[in-house]
Amino acid sequence: MRSLTLVALLCGALPLAAAAACEELSKLAIEKATITTAQSVAAGSFQPPEGAPVNVAVGFCRVALILKPSSDSDIQLEVWLPSTGWNGKFQGVGNGGFAGAIGYGFMATNVAHGYATASTDTGHHADGTDAQWALGHREKTVDFGYRAIHESAVAAKAIIRAFYGDAPKRAYFSACSNGGRQALMEAQRYPGDYDGIIAGAPANYWTRLMSQAIVNNQAMLADPASYIPASKLPTITAAALAACDANDGVKDGVIENPAQCRFDPAPLLCKGEDTEGCLTAPQLAVLKKVYAGPRNSKGDQIMPGYSPGGEAEPGGWGPWITGQAPTKSLMYAFGTQFFSNMVFENAAWDFKTFNLDRDMKIAGDKLASDLNATDPDLKRFKARGGKLILYHGWSDAAIPGQSTAKYYESIVKKMGQKETADFVRLYMVPGMQHCGGGSGPTVFGQGSGVPTTDAQHDIAAALERWVEEDVAPQQIIVTKYKTGVNPASGVLRTRPLCPYPQTANYKGSGSTDNAANFVCK
């Protein structure tokens, strides 16, 4: 109890007795917050307030509260604390898309591995592709942008201290997509919140990513003849693999480094009748634009283009870029929801009126400070011992993989190669789609931040070893199973992930499905 009073007051909370019983946490006073539930939950099936039941392997103390950092804030937060076996650590949970829901499944996994954990809806209830909640509610956009994750970390630590009588020894945050953007916001804005951060496929240049989504949809939907149906994606992927799969000396259905792929889709032009085995001239023009990435009227690159090689895979261009029908892609939904509700605050806004030079500037002037996590100056995070791991799938059809490589390069330019290497690693994942899946091996540990095996095979375990033992990660071995992420189905292939800008190179002998036969260069 000796330091509990001071820490609790600094966190805006009035202290309880050290190691408080779960139900007593309902009496804990946290500034600008209301605790609505403090209950002990037994191991087994747990029915959350919303969604399907989740199985929780251990008993835990569940604390639900509402945070109101502004007059228009209504941030729902849950903090789960293992009743026994706490490992002394805190694990924050991030959100995908436009957020709008608490990640109960991730929380269940975290507490089962001994972590105290917290998840927030970031201030609204909605489907992940729906931003109507932001219409006329700027403070809610701020909560979504960065404030809810930070306020959640502060409140969660106060609750952890009150329950266990001690603050967490280490705090970690691991998330992907918008969660990756949240992760970088934490490192850039609030370097004291977390000791170790994993940012997967971060949507960190939000205003430009949404602009790219609109530009691509304008190109694809301006004329019915320009739309590329999902049925033609296998033809495109086959041509891309034929051009670049063997560039790394191994023909395995995966392009190791698409940035070095010089794929020209021009030979796919239909020579006669339009079939699924070719592209019309308008479709070919759109494909080239998607690969190239948008440029403004001065010719400046606004965002990198999407990489070739994974267009036809499940989780690839079908759901994200082309959709199964015009206007049915996820990037159409994200782009139009963003500009109609957050930028122009006009539900009737028409994407056909979008002008890249004009409207991207409007979005940036209004919302870049709230939503973009692009600051390369991470000196404060480094100074307190923070470690950051970035990863991104090269075949990502939601966020171009090259965008994370460019952010990493901006850190190097700002802080220097040696300084950056002291606390940042980037792993580009060949063949991986958005946050997982695809033709290549998948990164493990990125969703919940929970170590599944060891520091050589699990990116989250590698981060914890770096933070706690000061052993920097080098190559990380990733696995592709015969069926999804099910180890019981058997291992199809293992490969090393190399710290960027290195890539895995085949030694020239031995099985190409064994990571031991590759070296990082």
Is 470 tagged catalytic?
Answer: no
Q: Do you know the residue count of the chain?
A: 521
Cα distances (angstroms) measured from residue 391 to each of 233, 509, 511: 26, 28, 26
Is 125 tagged catalytic?
Answer: no
Q: 24: Cβ–Cβ under 8 A, 6 or more apart, which residues?
A: 16, 17, 38
Is 137 tagged catalytic?
Answer: no
Both tokens of 187, joined, read 């490192």
Catalytic residue among 73, 174, 177, 329: 177
- Secondary structure (3-state) at 151: helix
Catalytic residue among 73, 396, 403, 457: 396
Both tokens of 479, joined, read 């696995």
SS (HEC) of 436-503: CCECCCECCCCCCCCCCCCCCCCHHHHHHHHHHHCCCCCCEEEEEECCCCCHHHCEEEEEEECECCCC
Both tokens of 236, joined, read 């495109």
Burial 477-505 (b: 16+ CB within 10 A, else e): bbbbbeeeeeeeeeeebbbbbbbbebbbb
User: Cα–Cα–Cα angle for 514, 444, 404, nearest 5°?
Assistant: 100
User: Cα–Cα–Cα angle for 401, 179, 115, nearest 5°?
Assistant: 125
| Alpha-helix residue ranges (DSSP H) falling in 190-305 | 206-221, 233-244, 281-292
Distance CA 79, CA 33 (A): 13
Burial 100-129 (b: 16+ CB within 10 A, else e): bbbbbbbbbbbbbbbbbbbbbbbbbebebb
**Dihedral angle, C-alpha 221, 225, 226, 232, nearest 10 °:** 110
Just list the catalytic residues.
177, 396, 434
